[in-house]
A and B are shown apart, each in its own frame.
Chain A
């Protein structure tokens, strides 16, 4: 039972980059900042590829963003995705709006499954997957994880962490929730958002990178989707959190204890 899977691939600031706020508070300093595929989306791409390798089907990656998001789409194609869609949009990406755009893509592509990172590491909103599921009235499983560790044999064999039912129409998902691990069975089509422990994404191979250059990448303008593009959440001002004042060095454990006990009252 082949699966058609739509996966999101957002272009975000490299988590290793130092993020600084512009003096006017209207944005962040982008000079010298590297960009990459959102790490949670990378996990979603990996999971989609594993499902395809097991069951057959097609993996379509979609990005909403500036022209340069092609780089992140090509990265996903190099990992093994089949084709890509870029919705060109230069402006704030609010989950309410993003999900409305994705709804249009889903209606056109009719995937069996949408896999998304649980959040993008720029806005950290953790909403788009859930908004999309509700707009589509589809079931959802957020924070998809698995019981097996990332050092396990199953992981070495690249077994999918989300498991397709024998009927090919349901998906079993283990999710990290408060105080434990929950298992949900979703009737497809469904939306699944990925957490850190679901898998270890593969590195693109050199042949993969070469092949990716020739894979189809369709572009369309956000305005062509016919959704209201006005952000629902408006960022008024950005600031940097109060800087931590330079600390003191202590000579030994005895002094450290004293400071923590008497000065900081933390112990």
Chain B
């Protein structure tokens, strides 16, 4: 047996999109190893979610218990590790979300397994499947082998097309949960949804980012972003200056993004920043300085004052809609 176990995520009564990308990665491993893809669904009151997941043609293992209401790594890890053993999983994976990154290493520790984070693709066959992953914020790509019997991984969702519904749904199995709630030393004490009219930075199809050149005025950046339905990003210089929130920072020490289109306005292109966005499909740079390093990375460069160019582009976008 060389089964693949993909850990599903859900929220607001639906399977998260990220999970479909992880399932696709699982299917690719299964093709290479000759195994079957299974999915683990943990939570409380899961109702129809198991069938929703099984529709993708994978065997679904459902652990439905009050103690699993919140995705606490301390509670999820033993359930997932036991399940992985029970189904003879050689590969255990999830999407490289906050959830996946939080829980999967604990599962790996339980299984005495090595782990690869943020996997971009696979190579090789059978037991020798290799994992391609970024290091140094994507400045380096590494081909890694996991030397343990069980291999654990998370995948960057933008690198895998989502799984498709299958003609025949997979079977659904119930998993017994024996976690004692009183023994848990982690307690969930609240969740505040961060609502934004804009898409999440790491998931956005388009990102418009501003840097030092904005001189602290992000209005043209935000206007273009809203016209495009884009997320707003910023260089470290803009964040350090206190102009915009820290979680807007794109770069090695901020967020790594890979949208279809990245518009960098008033950003010179420090290594730190480039590391966080050079995986973008199309890069546009708008900068007054014709020698700014960003132009060496941009597919389209416009030497111009962003305070003139961006409003003009915003107007054009709105006019063409």
Contact = CB atoms under 8 A, between A and B. Distances in A.
A249 B301 contact: yes
Contact of B190 (A124, A176, A183, A237): A183
Given A13-B136, A260-B284, 10 more contacts: A40-B253, A130-B102, A130-B109, A134-B105, A178-B9, A186-B186, A236-B145, A247-B298, A256-B302, A264-B261
Contact of A18 (B144, B190, B228, B271): B271
Interface string A1-22: 0000000000001011111010
B147 A230 contact: yes
B116 interface: yes
A19 B139 contact: yes
A238 B136 CA distance: 11
A237 B104 CA distance: 24
Contact of A232 (B147, B272, B298, B301): B147
Interface string B258-284: 001100000000111001001101111
A41 to B, nearest CB: 12
Interface in B171-217: 184-194, 200, 206
Given A130-B73, A232-B148, A177 B109 contact: no
Interface stretch (A72-80, A138-146, A206-214): A138-146
A105 interface: no
A179 B247 contact: no
B98 A176 contact: yes
Interface stretch (A47-55, A56-64, A82-90, A91-99): A91-99
Contact of A182 (B109, B140, B191, B245): B191
A45 interface: no
Q: Which size class do A's interface residues fall under? A: 35 or more
Given A95-B115, A182-B190, A130 B105 contact: yes
Contacts of A131: 105-106, 108-109
B135 A238 contact: yes
Interface centre among A124, A181, A185, A235 (most CB of B within 10 A): A124
6 contacts: A124-B134, A139-B186, A180-B192, A182-B192, A233-B147, A264-B282
Contacts of B134: 124, 241
Given A232-B147, A240-B140, A266-B282, A252 B302 contact: yes
B106 A133 contact: yes
Interface string B86-109: 000000000001110111111011
Interface centre among B136, B138, B282, B283 (most CB of A within 10 A): B136
Contacts, number: 266
Given A185-B187, A250-B300, A264-B299, A241 B108 contact: no
B280 to A, nearest CB: 9
A232 B146 contact: yes
Contact of A233 (B110, B115, B299): B115
B110 A124 contact: no
Contacts of A238: 135, 140-143
Contact of B271 (A16, A138, A248): A16
Contact of B140 (A178, A239, A250, A257): A239
Nearest to B113: A232
Secondary structure call for the B interface: mixed
Interface string A248-267: 11101110110111001011
Contacts of A66: none
Contacts of B97: 178
Contacts of A135: 109
Contact of B312 (A99, A187, A253): A253
A151 B193 CA distance: 22
Contact of A267 (B115, B228, B299, B312): B228
Q: Which size class do B's interface residues fall under? A: 35 or more
A39 B278 CA distance: 21
A95 B98 CA distance: 18
Secondary structure call for the A interface: mixed
B299 A247 contact: yes
A67 interface: no
Given A16-B270, A142-B101, A125 B253 contact: no
A149 B245 contact: yes
A138 B185 contact: yes
Nearest to B78: A134
Contacts of A181: 191-192, 194
A240 B275 CA distance: 12
Nearest to A122: B136
A190 interface: yes
A246 interface: yes
Nearest to B136: A19
A191 to B, nearest CB: 10
Nearest to A94: B114
Given A172-B189, A231-B147, A234-B145, A264 B98 contact: no
A21 B136 CA distance: 11
A19 B140 contact: yes
A184 interface: yes
A104 to B, nearest CB: 15
